[in-house]
């Protein structure tokens, strides 16, 4: 755990040195207990951005297997007990590891979109988070990130990019009947994505911009 804390301190120092960072709602991250942190995915530094704000030592996330052969990446993944994920197929072993960690009280960070958005706006979320919640009953903590998609362009202009992170209140997802499984997973996935979209500026909302649930959340300020 000491190595993890040192790494977190270094990451925080670099972010604050190289960028303007604004963070809101950090008090909404549960200090203990199983939960899933769900954020939009804009750039390669998103995982580091989320990692730096967390005071918990029992936090991990999925990492694409393609980085497993990279010496530096694999070393960092070992420090944070990352879960290697084969994104090309239904990786039941990775899902099982995540389920067991959540049940034992760990916090898991996931980008429901599954990959970076090339446009900066939200793309359809995958049902993996909804599936894990169905199996574990843990709350979901929505997180909205902006600015990380422009970081390289800003550096090229010798500017410090402006990065923001907004954390919403934890919420739970309703259970659904087995016969309604696919519809239930989709409904819960839309709920997660709309909660994230509600905290993002309008041009980041992408495919969820006109979703009825998002309009409900915005009109009621339910975040």
Beta bridge partners of 146: 164
Q: What is the pLDDT of residue 89?
A: 66
Strand order in the sheet with 140-146: 20-24, 162-167, 140-146, 35-39, 107-110, 59-64, 83-85
**CA proximity to 135, closest of 38, 31, 30, 34:** 34
Question: What's the predicted TM-score (pTM) here?
Answer: 0.91
Q: What is the pLDDT of residue 53?
A: 87
- Rounded Cα gap, residues 45 and 149, in angstroms: 9
Tokens 């919640």 identify what position? 133
pLDDT beyond 90 at 186: yes
pLDDT in tens, 97-141: 999 999 999 999 999 998 899 999 999 999 999 999 999 999 999
pLDDT beyond 70 at 189: yes
- 10 Å Cβ neighbour count for 54? 15
pLDDT in tens, 78-104: 777 888 887 666 678 889 999 999 999
Q: Which residue has the higher pLDDT, 181 or 70?
A: 181
Beta bridge partners of 37: 109, 141
Q: What is the pLDDT of residue 137?
A: 96
pLDDT grade for 143, boundaries at 50, 70 and 90: very high
Give the chain's domains with CATH numbers: 2-217 (3.40.1130.10)
Residue 221 DSSP class: T
**CA proximity to 114, closest of 102, 126, 106:** 126
Q: What is the pLDDT of residue 88?
A: 63
Q: Which residue has the higher pLDDT, 126 or 8?
A: 126
Q: Which residue has the higher pLDDT, 125 or 64?
A: 125
pLDDT in tens, 21-54: 999 999 999 999 999 999 999 988 998 899 888 8
Q: Which residue has the higher pLDDT, 149 or 179?
A: 149
Q: What is the pLDDT of residue 90?
A: 67
| Percent of the chain at pLDDT exceeding 90 | 65
């Amino acid at each position: 755990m000491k190595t993890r804390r040192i790494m977190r301190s270094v990451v925080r120092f670099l972010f604050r040195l190289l960028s303007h960072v604004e963070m809101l709602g950090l008090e909404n991250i549960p200090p203990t207990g199983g939960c899933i942190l769900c954020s939009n995915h804009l750039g390669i530094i998103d995982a580091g951005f989320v990692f730096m704000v967390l005071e918990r030592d029992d936090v991990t996330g999925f990492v694409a297997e393609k980085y497993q052969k990279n010496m530096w990446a694999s070393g960092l993944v070992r420090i944070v007990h990352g879960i290697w994920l084969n994104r090309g197929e239904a990786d039941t072993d990775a899902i099982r590891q995540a389920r067991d960690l959540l049940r034992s009280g760990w916090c898991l960070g996931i980008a429901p979109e599954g990959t970076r958005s090339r446009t900066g706006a939200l793309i359809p979320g995958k049902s993996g988070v909804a599936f894990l919640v169905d199996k574990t009953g843990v709350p979901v903590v929505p997180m909205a990130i902006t600015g990380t998609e422009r970081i390289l362009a800003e550096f090229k202009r010798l500017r410090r990019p402006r990065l923001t992170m907004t954390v919403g209140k934890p919420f739970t997802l309703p259970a659904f009947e087995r016969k309604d499984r696919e519809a239930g997973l989709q409904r819960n996935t839309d709920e997660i994505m709309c909660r994230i979209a509600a905290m993002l500026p309008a041009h980041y909302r992408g495919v969820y911009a006109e979703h009825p649930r998002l309009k409900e959340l915005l009109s009621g300020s339910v975040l």
